[in-house]
Amino acid sequence: MARPSNQSRLFSFDVDGYVSELRYSLRSAMREIKETLLKELKNSAKSLPFKRNPVRLAGGEVTSDYKRRRAVINAINASMDEIERDVIMLTFTALDNNFKDSHIGIYYEHGTGEEWDGEYETLPGIVPSPNKYRSGRQIVSRSRHIDYAGLGKGKWIDLGGNIRVTASREAGRRTPGFIAYIGEDTKAYHWFSSVFEEKREWIMKKLREAVMRVKPERFIRLSTKNFVLGKDGITK
C-alpha cells in the first residue's frame, strides 16, 4: 500500500500569511468603498433643488430649506469598525447632527404632501403637531387662531422639533396664494438610499477584486528535502 514516511513534506501552504494579506487587501477595499460612498452621498445632497420658500419659526427667525442645505450635507458621516475578528462593518449616517436644521433631508428623501412615498417615521422624543384640517396627503394651511401643541395659538412643531408659527387666518385652505408661499410638494428624490442601490454592483466588484488580488500560489512553499522514490513516495 502506498504510504509516505512521517518525515515526507513535498510542499506546504502558508495559511497565516495568506489570511494576513487577504485581510489587508479587504480592509483597503473597504476604506475605498467608505470614502467613495461618503463623497457620493454628499454630492447627492448638494444636487438637491432645495426650496427657497420662507420658513417662520416661533422665535421670529425666518429661514428656508436652501439656507439649511449646508446642515444636511454636514450631517452625513461614515465610519469603518471591526466589530469582531475578520468582520468589518461600514456605517453611514445622515441628519444625526444639528437635527433641527438637517431634518429637512427627510423631506427630500421621502417627499412631502401628495409626493410622499409613505415611508418615513417620526423620531423618538419628537412629537410633530398634526394639522387636523388636513385630509389625505394634501398639504393645507394652518390657522393662527388654533393652538396645535399647547404652546399658544398658531404655533406647531415640525419633524425636527422646531416650533413653527403660521400667520394664516384660516385653516384647511390650499389656494394659489398658499401654494406660492409654501412652494409645491417636495418630490421623493431618495437622494440617500439611491446611492447604495446605484453602487451595489461596484461595491461587490471592489470586494471581489480585493480577494482575487491575493494570489494563493505566492504562499505555497516547496520542500528543499530530496524526494526519494520508494522512501517518500509510492511503494509497491
| pLDDT tens-place string over residues 82-120 | 887 788 999 999 998 999 999 999 999 999 999 999 888
Q: pTM of the predicted model, to two decimals?
A: 0.84
Rounded to the nearest integer, the mean pLDDT of the chain is 90
- The pairs formed by 211-215 with CB atoms below 8 angstroms and a separation of 24 or more are 211/22, 211/25, 211/26, 213/25, 214/18, 214/21, 214/22, 214/25
**For residue 189, pLDDT beyond 70:** yes
Task: Please tell me the distance from the alpha carbon of residue 161 to that of residue 129, in angstroms, as a whole number.
Answer: 10
Q: Would you state the pLDDT for residue 85?
A: 77
Contact 189, 127 (CB under 8 A): no
Instruction: Provide the pLDDT confidence category of residue 231 given band limits of 50, 70 and 90.
Output: low
3-state secondary structure at position 20: helix
**For residue 181, pLDDT beyond 50:** yes
| pLDDT tens-place string over residues 11-46 | 788 999 999 999 999 999 999 999 999 999 999 999
Task: Please tell me the distance from the alpha carbon of residue 217 to that of residue 7, in angstroms, as a whole number.
Answer: 23
**For residue 202, pLDDT beyond 80:** yes
Instruction: Provide the pLDDT confidence category of residue 4 given band limits of 50, 70 and 90.
Output: very low
Which of 42, 111, 49, 34 is CA-nearest to residue 71?
A: 42
Sole residue written with cell 417627499: 111
| pLDDT tens-place string over residues 124-161 | 888 999 998 988 899 999 999 999 999 999 999 999 99
Query: Which cell goes with 189?
Result: 428624490
Pairing verdict, β 62-63 and 55-56: antiparallel
